[in-house]
Structure 1
Amino acid sequence: MSAGEAVGAAPARRSLRPVLFGAAVCVILALLFGVPWWSLVAAGAGWPGWVFPAGTVLFVAGLVAFPVLMYLGHGRRALDWAARAGDTLLGVVWVLFTWALLGDVLRGALALGGVADPVRSRIVAAATLAVSVVLVLWGYVEAMRVPRVRRVEVTLPRLGAGLDGLRVVLLTDTHYGPIDRARWSARVVEAVNRLDADIACHTGDIADGTVSRRREQAAPLGDVRARLARTYVTGNHEYFGEAQGWLDHMRVLGWEPLHNRHIVVERDGSKLVIAGVDDRTAGSSGSPGHRADHAVALAGADPDLPVLLLAHQPQQIGQAVEHGVDLQLSGHTHGGQIWPFHLLVRLDQPSVQGLRRYGERTQLYTSRGTGFWGPPLRVFAPSEITLLTLRSAGGR
């Protein structure tokens, strides 16, 4: 192939990408709405004559409205009412899709048991709908509640005796957004302050929207109490809006933005480096001066001191291992948020939730998140406020 042919082929491939992406989105939407439509409406249940046209109109209306609502809600216009409607529709149809698929397992079992249509399909449709309604209602309550406190002990062999028992409270993925959760935010802060923290951390995705739009919801973070430090790093969602604006605003609220930098805290003669890096998407966001840089974040730090690193995505653990970090705190995954989405998250991230070890020194704790993104639902993936108690090698 000549140089001219190669140059001509590259734009052709690039021009196909929007087409392929659009086709993939259409297929996904057709499956999301089509599978539950078939299971609830079109399968051989023998419903009364009006059910099929009414059900079909309902699902088609949802299919058409969904991309419009998401464009209006999450596009340039950023209309909160559209985002609320589109996000809720996404959550409901995901639950219906999941349990319609599982309903086909029941369908097969009933067929093996000799149950014929229309009884078989009516049982499957009723079970799918009943389970979905219960999970949507329960998931909404779980999403909107103040998160439970998850208590974790982490032993760091290099931690000095003076810091044994250090209490680190982790918040992440608060996602202040189109649903006004200012009161929820205040109650979360009250729960945090009851934990008597030495260090408070927020590992990003603080909000969906600019500071001016989400200021009231974020305001209670200024009341978080911690004896030694309050630290914050950006998540990927900050780079959909104004990352530098949130870094500046968190400083106004009294937090220490760790924008590829570190601080050192000390207690009873023992010291701990607390470092933070930008989200891994920062470099491609177009935000000047933003990219994840572990070397810069740790420049000048005493290599003999233990390092606590804040990095939004678990996927950033590789660089943490390379730079000798003792413990990385992350969020981003939401624990999957709506079961079984965690299976897809696991394809992208090394950890979905909990504490794991990487290499000889480094450990990673991944929070399921304090808030939620998009659908106001949490199904089998509860939110959390994390209290990590750090122990030295000689601690109890």
Structure 2
Amino acid sequence: MSVGEEVESRPRRRASRVIRFALIIGAILLLLFGVPWWTLIVSGNDWPTPVVVIGTIVFAVALAGFPALMFTGHGRGHHDVPAKIADTMLGVVWVLFVWSIAGQILTGVLWAAGVGTPARSRIATVVVALIALVLLLWGYAEAMRVPRIRRIDVTVPRLGAGLDGLRLVLITDTHYGPIDRARWSRGVTAAVNALDPDVVAHTGDIADGEVAQRREQAAPLADIRASLARVYVTGNHEYFSGAQRWVEHMAALGWEALHNRHLVVSRGGDSLVIAGVDDRTAAGSGVPGHHADHEAALEGADPALPILLLAHQPAQIEGAVAHGVDLQISGHTHGGQIWPFHYLVRLDQPALQGLSRHSERTQLYTSRGTGFWGPPFRVFAPSEITLLTLRAAA
């Protein structure tokens, strides 16, 4: 192939990828909106014609408008009004999609039980609508509340006796975004401070939007207190929202931004290395100097000391194992956020939530997240502020 032919083929390959991506997204949206439309509007319900027409128009308009709202809201401009509409639509349609599938199963059961048409379809439709409504109202309340405290004891065999009982508070995935949660942020700060932490860690995804847009919501982070350290690493969403500016802003708020670096905390004559690495998406973000680098993060650290590593994604645990980390703390998964999305999360991540072991030395704690991304709902995946109490070996 000549140079000219090669150059000409690149745009064709890019165009092919764009078309393939668009077709996949289109198919997913047709399923997400189409299954609820079929279950609630058509599917043997025998509703009056005006109901069918109006219902079909509502679903068609939602399907057509959703991509534009999502792109406008979460594109470079981060326009909050379309983002709020698109995010809410996504949450509603996901819940309707999941329970519409269950509704079709219920219809089959009613058919087997001898219930005639259209009664069986209408019964299933009412059940689906009621369950979806209850879950969405409850899920909204769960998403907007200040998270409950989750208390976990973690034994770190290499931890010195002087650090036994160290109180580490983990917050993550605050996702300050289109819905103004400045008051919620102040509540989180109060809850963290009430735990009297030695170390507070934020493992990324601070916000969806630039510092200038989310400054007020993030401001209460400056008031969080810790006797030894406040530390932070980037998440994948920082790389849509000015990662380096968030690193600098967190430093301005008094946090140690562990941008592939570490610090050492000491108490009672014993010490602990606290290291942090950038998110695993950083290398492909185009932000200069950002990439996950465990070697740089641990350069100069005493290998005899125990290591606590901040890394946004549980999937970064392989690097932690390879570098002898004792405990990695992560977020990213949101615990699935809206059931049963956690099955999809597990395809990409080695852990969904909680404490897990990944080598003889290395443990991983995965938080379900302090805030929420996008849809303002949490269904069977409660948020958390985590108090990890580190214990030395007996």
The normalised TM-score by structure 1 is 0.97
Structure 1 counterpart of 2:301: 301
SS in 2 for 1:288: coil
Q: In the aligned structure 1, how far is the partner of 2:156 from the partner of 2:274? A: 14
Structure 2 counterpart of 1:124: 124
Structure 2 counterpart of 1:374: 374
Q: Does structure 1 conserve the Cα–Cα contact (< 8 Å) formed by 2:139 and 2:378?
A: yes
Write out per-residue CA displacement over residues 169-208 of structure 1, whole angstroms, 9 at most, x where no aligned residue: 0000000011000000001100001101000000000011
Q: Is 1:91–2:67 an aligned residue pair?
A: no
Q: In the aligned structure 2, how far is the partner of 1:294 from the partner of 1:3? A: 41
Structure 1 counterpart of 2:320: 320
Deviation at 1:77, TM superposition (A): 2.9
Residue identity matched to 2:159:
L
Q: In the aligned structure 1, how far is the partner of 2:315 from the partner of 2:166? A: 26
* Superposition map of 1:307-346 within 5 A: 307-346=307-346
Q: In the aligned structure 1, how far is the partner of 2:86 from the partner of 2:376? A: 11
Structure 1 counterpart of 2:165: 165
* Superposition map of 1:181-220 within 5 A: 181-220=181-220
Residue identity matched to 1:373:
W
Q: In the aligned structure 1, how far is the partner of 2:309 from the partner of 2:279? A: 12
Residue identity matched to 1:255:
W
Write out per-residue CA displacement over residues 77-98 of structure 1, whole angstroms, 9 at most, x where no aligned residue: 3210110011001100000000
Q: Does structure 1 conserve the Cα–Cα contact (< 8 Å) formed by 2:207 and 2:241?
A: no
Structure 2 counterpart of 1:383: 383
Q: Does structure 1 conserve the Cα–Cα contact (< 8 Å) formed by 2:313 and 2:332?
A: yes
Residue identity matched to 1:166:
L
Deviation at 1:10, TM superposition (A): 6.2
Deviation at 1:12, TM superposition (A): 4.0
Q: Does structure 1 conserve the Cα–Cα contact (< 8 Å) formed by 2:202 and 2:233?
A: yes
Structure 2 counterpart of 1:364: 364
SS in 2 for 1:348: coil
Residue identity matched to 2:344:
L
Q: Quick check: 74-83 or 382-391, which moved more?
A: 74-83
Deviation at 1:107, TM superposition (A): 1.3
Q: In the aligned structure 2, how far is the partner of 1:76 from the partner of 1:369? A: 25
SS in 1 for 2:41: helix
Structure 1 counterpart of 2:71: 71
SS in 2 for 1:254: coil
Q: Does structure 1 conserve the Cα–Cα contact (< 8 Å) formed by 2:163 and 2:270?
A: yes
Structure 1 counterpart of 2:264: 264
Deviation at 1:103, TM superposition (A): 1.1
Q: In the aligned structure 1, how far is the partner of 2:43 from the partner of 2:4? A: 52
Structure 1 counterpart of 2:148: 148
SS in 2 for 1:351: coil
Structure 1 counterpart of 2:228: 228
Q: Percent identity?
A: 65
Q: In the aligned structure 2, how far is the partner of 1:88 from the partner of 1:12? A: 36
Write out per-residue CA displacement over residues 279-307 of structure 1, whole angstroms, 9 at most, x where no aligned residue: 00111111111110000000000001000
Q: In the aligned structure 1, how far is the partner of 2:13 from the partner of 2:129? A: 43
Q: In the aligned structure 1, how far is the partner of 2:392 from the partner of 2:32? A: 49
- Unaligned 5+ residue runs, structure 2? none
Deviation at 1:108, TM superposition (A): 1.4
Q: Quick check: 266-275 or 70-79, which moved more?
A: 70-79
Structure 2 counterpart of 1:280: 280
SS in 2 for 1:50: helix
Q: Does structure 1 conserve the Cα–Cα contact (< 8 Å) formed by 2:171 and 2:370?
A: yes
Q: Is 1:60–2:94 an aligned residue pair?
A: no
Q: In the aligned structure 2, how far is the partner of 1:123 from the partner of 1:55? A: 18
Q: In the aligned structure 2, how far is the partner of 1:153 from the partner of 1:337? A: 24
SS in 1 for 2:346: helix
Write out per-residue CA displacement over residues 359-395 of structure 1, whole angstroms, 9 at most, x where no aligned residue: 110000000000001000000000000000000102x
Q: In the aligned structure 1, how far is the partner of 2:157 from the partner of 2:77? A: 51
- Unaligned 5+ residue runs, structure 1? none
Q: In the aligned structure 2, how far is the partner of 1:351 from the partner of 1:56? A: 40
Q: Does structure 1 conserve the Cα–Cα contact (< 8 Å) formed by 2:251 and 2:257?
A: yes
Write out per-residue CA displacement over residues 318-363 of structure 1, whole angstroms, 9 at most, x where no aligned residue: 0000000000000011011000110111111111111100011000
Residue identity matched to 1:376:
P
Q: In the aligned structure 2, how far is the partner of 1:11 from the partner of 1:78? A: 28
* Superposition map of 1:18-57 within 5 A: 18-57=18-57
Deviation at 1:105, TM superposition (A): 1.5
Structure 2 counterpart of 1:250: 250
Q: In the aligned structure 1, how far is the partner of 2:159 from the partner of 2:76? A: 47
Q: Does structure 1 conserve the Cα–Cα contact (< 8 Å) formed by 2:203 and 2:234?
A: yes
Q: Quick check: 190-199 or 45-54, which moved more?
A: 45-54
Residue identity matched to 1:24:
I
Residue identity matched to 1:47:
W
Write out per-residue CA displacement over residues 136-186 of structure 1, whole angstroms, 9 at most, x where no aligned residue: 110000000000001111101000011111100000000001100000000
Q: In the aligned structure 2, how far is the partner of 1:337 from the partner of 1:281? A: 21
Deviation at 1:102, TM superposition (A): 1.1
